[in-house]
Structure 1
Amino acid sequence: MASSMRTRQTVRDMVLSMLAVGGVVFIGYLFLPHSGGDGVHVVDYRSALASAKRAAPFPVLGPQGLEDDWRATSVEYRQDKKGHNVWHLGFVTPTGQYAAIEQSDGEREAVLSEVTLGAKPDGNASVSGEDWQRYQGDKYRGLTRQTGTATTVVTGTASYDELARLAQSLK
């Protein structure tokens, strides 16, 4: 009988301990902040764009008039290992895809291969009356044209329509 009573106390103590731990976890859950968004970290690219326009030896292009559902997530102006100037501005598109503006005064074919991950020519497109070459790869696609001494590529996982919308906004 003593053994039966000890077993009940042990089980009761274990249940009470679990309830106490569960209560602490529940209270912690209620008071700790939760991520309410989709995890996209939006950046303000305007000052970096202005700085790049002053520093670059080519006309740096940035978007004007894009809707608010185009969210900038990365921005960078730098020199690569070979000393070429590189401008990058990445976005999450309205459909949740990736799109980026890439410009460089590096060798055109090397720039295209790097930013489109080896995509191949896929015809031409007219964007705001300007001719752009299309490139299609396994993962990325892109629209490209020469702008002064720089190669401009609008690339990403976004559709050609979304890439054209981004290219159309470049000023």
Structure 2
Amino acid sequence: MGDHGRVASSKRGRQTARDMVLSMLVVLLGAGIAYLFIPHDDSLDPVRPISYDVELVTARRAAPYPVAAPVGLPADWRATSVDYEAQSDQGAVWHLGFMDPDNEYAAVKQSDGRPEKFITKVTHGAEPTGRNRTAGGEEWEHYEGPKYDALVRREPGVTTVVTGTAPLGSLTRLAAALETSEG
């Protein structure tokens, strides 16, 4: 009897492993069929444009400084990210990110925190070039860095940075479109 018990249990162990492998094959076959019949297009742009109207109104009500957003940018500028933090290690921070017409990143970032710390963080360490650029009738400091370039404007109570991988022309266009209230 002892021998029959051992044979039966080792046979059951092999059946369980075989059943598991067969089950996995059925699942993989089902997944493969589903993949073939579910439409997908890898050529589509993975960037999803967003609306930022509600966040802009909310930030303008809450921020201790005039919140800037572009007015009149062409339709091929797509907003992709928006955020307002009333309290952070950088102060009250407004962020509005875009993809420019050439699919380069450009963002408006504002803070009432310490300017140098904020600028270093949002520009990923870009350094001042010593040159200024006029955009929207305002003088902006030009920064260059290994990752991002930037235009920086310091005003009492707020630092505004237009930064990203976009070329200087796109950053200037975004800076020129900034307004602090609707109108």
TM-score by length of 2: 0.75
**1:75-127 deviation digits (Å, cap 9, x = unpaired):** 00003433710000001110110000000001110111000011111111011
* Corresponding position: 1:71 with 2:78: yes
Counterpart of 1:143 in structure 2: which amino acid?
Answer: L
1:56 to 49, 59, 63: 63
Specify whether residues 103 and 45 from structure 1 end up closer, same or farther in structure 2 by C-alpha distance, changes over 3 A only: same
| Separation in structure 2 between the aligned mates of residue 113 and residue 88 of structure 1, nearest angstrom | 15
Q: Measure how far apart 1:146 and its partner are.
A: 1.9
Counterpart of 2:65 in structure 1: which amino acid?
Answer: F
- SS of 1:111's equivalent? helix
| Separation in structure 1 between the aligned mates of residue 90 and residue 45 of structure 2, nearest angstrom | 37
| Separation in structure 2 between the aligned mates of residue 87 and residue 99 of structure 1, nearest angstrom | 14
Q: Measure how far apart 1:150 and its partner are.
A: 0.5
Other-structure match for 2:103: 96
| Separation in structure 1 between the aligned mates of residue 146 and residue 38 of structure 2, nearest angstrom | 45
Other-structure match for 2:173: 165
* Corresponding position: 1:111 with 2:118: yes
Q: Measure how far apart 1:43 and its partner are.
A: 1.2
| Separation in structure 2 between the aligned mates of residue 112 and residue 151 of structure 1, nearest angstrom | 8
Summarize the alignment of residues 9-158 of structure 1 with structure 2, pairs less than 5 Å apart. Answer: 25=32, 28-34=35-41, 37-82=44-89, 84-122=91-129, 123-158=131-166
Aligned-residue identity in percent: 43
TM-score by length of 1: 0.80
| Separation in structure 1 between the aligned mates of residue 155 and residue 97 of structure 2, nearest angstrom | 19
Q: Measure how far apart 1:33 and its partner are.
A: 4.1
Q: Measure how far apart 1:167 and its partner are.
A: 0.5
CA contact (8 A) 1:98 1:156 kept: yes
Structure 1, unpaired ranges of 5+: 1-20
Count of residue pairs brought into register by the alignment: 151
Structure 2, unpaired ranges of 5+: 1-27
